[in-house]
Amino acid sequence: MTSISANLQAVHARIAAAARACGRDPQTVRLLAVSKTWGAGAVREAAAAGQHAFGENYVQEGCEKITALADATLEWHFIGPLQSNKTRAVAAHFHWVHSIDRLRIAERLSAQRDVHLPPLQVCVQVNVSGELSKSGVDPAAAVALARAVAALPRLRLRGLMCIPEPTADAAVLAARFGVLRSLQGELAAAGIVTDTLSMGMSHDLEAAVAAGATLVRVGTAIFGERGAQ
């Protein structure tokens, strides 16, 4: 059984190889370790191996972990669907939110972010595959939402996030990730400069890096299969 440290090394090697294959500097791609369903001990092990940023999908679980690991200097990203009644806890505990898909959520986060904390770093989630079961704003409405989010106090719009449907079709993946990159270009043309494309997971990070990902969200390849603890 491989260790979390060895798994992290392997993931970093995959990211570096993917970046070099498309002429990118591997340092332009950050790794977010998705620690949902894994305990504080697993996070500590990853942190001891040099991992700094962790992603959580569930508000209560994430907040409990953040509290338990308060002695460690870690960066916490909320990456799951966010309901209005959970925004206060996220605004208080997390450093980043990747999953803003409607203005009401952003407005609540803005209003509830403590003025003594740094601005909450946020991404607009885009439903690039049009799946009814998936969160995210329609690509046609993404620029307008991003513009509105960027204008809110206590938030800093960093970029866009997507979760395309699982597929082994390289052309489909490239097209899905390409939607996000195109939208980033549209934002820049509208005067909204962003630096983050949050896309790519354990199974498709190479395709995401080739399409311009600056942050990949990897859980299984680092911690193992869910429920295997």
Q: pLDDT tens for residues 42-55?
A: 999 999 999 999 99
Q: pLDDT grade, residue 225 (50/70/90)? A: confident
Q: Is the pLDDT of residue 129 over 60?
A: yes
**pLDDT for the residue 190:** 94
Share of the chain above pLDDT 90, in %: 93
Q: Where are the beta strands (DSSP E) in the chain?
A: 30-34, 53-56, 75-78, 96-100, 120-125, 155-161, 196-198, 215-218
Q: Is the pLDDT of residue 218 over 70?
A: yes
Distance CA 34, CA 32 (A): 6
Mean per-residue pLDDT of the chain: 96
Residues in contact with 38: Cβ distance below 8 Å, sequence separation at least 6, in sequence order: 219, 223, 229
Question: Percent helix, strand, coil in the chain (nearest 5)?
Answer: 45, 15, 40
**pLDDT for the residue 70:** 96
Encode pLDDT of 58-98 as tens digits.
Answer: 999 999 999 999 999 999 999 999 999 999 999 999 999 99
Encode pLDDT of 166-188 as tens digits.
Answer: 899 999 999 999 999 999 999 99
Give domain limits for the chain. 4-221
Structure tokens at 28: 């332009």
Residue 150: name the closest of 168, 125, 123, 128 by CA. 123
Sign (positive or negative) of CA dihedral 183, 189, 192, 197:
positive
Distance CA 94, CA 75 (A): 8
Its pTM stands at 0.96
Residue 203 φ then ψ, to 5°? -90, -15
**pLDDT for the residue 210:** 97
Class of domain 4-221 (CATH, top level): alpha beta
Between 130 and 160, whose confidence is greater?
160
